[in-house]
Structure 1
């Protein structure tokens, strides 16, 4: 049975996270408040980052197969809060419209090249949901009202991160290692890391560290939300339960 989110669900959840993001920005005392989880940014910077990304990916999806990202033109960022939120909402609509027009299987440029994620509009939708979800969490932390990612979004986020951001042909200047990730919601993944041949696969449901055919060099346990937040640098490895060489996690995710 397919465990990952369907294309229609990805678009629905992107719209939902967009609404939650706007609510957090609307509740902030100022657009100039610092974002604790992205300390180099103000809340205004966070909005601007998301808007520019939505327009970029809308143009890239609309362009179809290509060797480089599409050029795009985003409207200038307004400084007034209501106008800024309207600007943000417009960028999300632009991306959702482009994805609906393309459907899940259209080829397009992506930065993840030879990873286990395809270079398609569906894979873009999957990654962009995680971008919106994590940055919505950032905005909520900023206003003191963080809400964990739903299990639906977070479980897809763990799988998406491992297949898109970890699995591929990037150099690994260390000895080959095996890393296991267990979400308390009942799904587990294994990452085989070596120089230029990293790959991942989901383990059969209920697999424990002792039952695995080959023992992992390090194993991490947490909720799916915690795993996603660790992957994106929002929490340290010490926030997870680990067994084995925790230094491998630091090498992989910093």
Structure 2
């Protein structure tokens, strides 16, 4: 996978998504980011790119940093935001060539957050989704209780926290690859994780999936 080209493809998908949204939809709350509207989340995505290019990027991507991106663009239209993102795109690609494709994660994760809010599916089978799934599954593994192994089994992809046979892990979950991808990002509820469990007791490992915040209280789908 060319991660920078994958970022560019994801950017174009998001731009098309935003340009196709109605004024009412733009003000819709995003279930995966409930403090933000669709416009706010898009403002963060645009602002992240501009900040990275400007050298303003804290290690922890803290809440004050992201909130500032949104606040600074509060009065901007979708067209304004698209124009800024397009202007930033080539400098950001240059930055990624020199520093690595870390911004890919933000656009891939939030593309699906936006799609969930707007009810417009797409991008599920992209190489970027697979790459971020492979990046975050080990983060789930790092958060497991000591001595517990986890296996995630999709239709064409599987993973085990100990590097062995996923079906032989202490706790095994079976679901579609995209669902497992979103679960590793704290985008699926405890009830959904329970429903996918085919072996072992999932309760002690639920917190391991809270990689990007608490698990949602309600079921999610995109």
Give TM class, smaller chain.
0.7 to 0.9
Offset from partner CA, 1:91-144 (integer Å, 9 cap, x none)? 3333212123x1xxxxxxxxxxxxxxxxxx33xx1x432321121112222222
In 1, the alpha carbon distance for the partners of 2:60 and 2:15 equals 31
CA deviation after TM superposition for structure 1 residue 26, in Å: 1.5
Instruction: Give the unaligned 5+ runs of structure 1.
Output: 103-120, 193-200, 210-214
Q: Cα distance 1:224–1:161, how it changes in 2: closer, same or farther (>3 A)?
A: same
Q: Is the 8 A contact 1:151 1:224 kept in 2?
A: no
Inter-partner Cα distance in structure 1 for 2:202 and 2:141: 19
Which of 68, 88, 93 is the aligned partner of 2:90? 93
Runs of 4+ in 1 over 6 A off after TM superposition: none
Aligned to 1:176: 147
Q: What TM-score results when the alignment is normalised by the length of structure 2?
A: 0.74
- Following superposition, the deviation at residue 236 of structure 1 comes to 2.2
Are 2:108 and 2:132, in contact at CA under 8 Å, matched by a contact in 1?
A: no
Residue 184 of structure 1: SS of its match in structure 2? Answer: coil
The answer to whether the 8 Å contact 1:51/1:92 transfers is no
Structure 2: gaps (5+ residues):
211-222
TM-score using structure 1 length: 0.66
Instruction: Give the Å deviation of 1:12.
Output: 0.9
Q: CA 1:252–1:19 in 2, change beyond 3 Å: closer, same or farther?
A: same
Within the alignment, does 1:158 sit opposite 2:128 as a pair?
Answer: no
2:204 paired with 1:248: yes
Q: 2:113 aligns with which of 128, 138, 141?
A: 138
Task: Considering fraction of residues, name the structure with more helix.
Answer: 2
The 3-state SS of whatever aligns with 1:147 is coil
Work out whether residues 29 and 36 of structure 2, in 8 Å CA contact, stay in contact via their aligned partners in 1. Answer: yes
Q: 1:92 to 1:221 in 2, by over 3 A?
A: farther
Q: Is the 8 A contact 1:180 1:216 kept in 2?
A: yes
Counterpart for residue 84 of structure 1: 81
Alpha-carbon RMSD across the aligned residues, in angstroms, is 3.2
SS, match of residue 177 in structure 1: coil
Matched, 1:191 2:161: yes
Match of 1:218 among 168, 171, 188: 171
Which of the two has higher C-alpha Rg?
Answer: 1
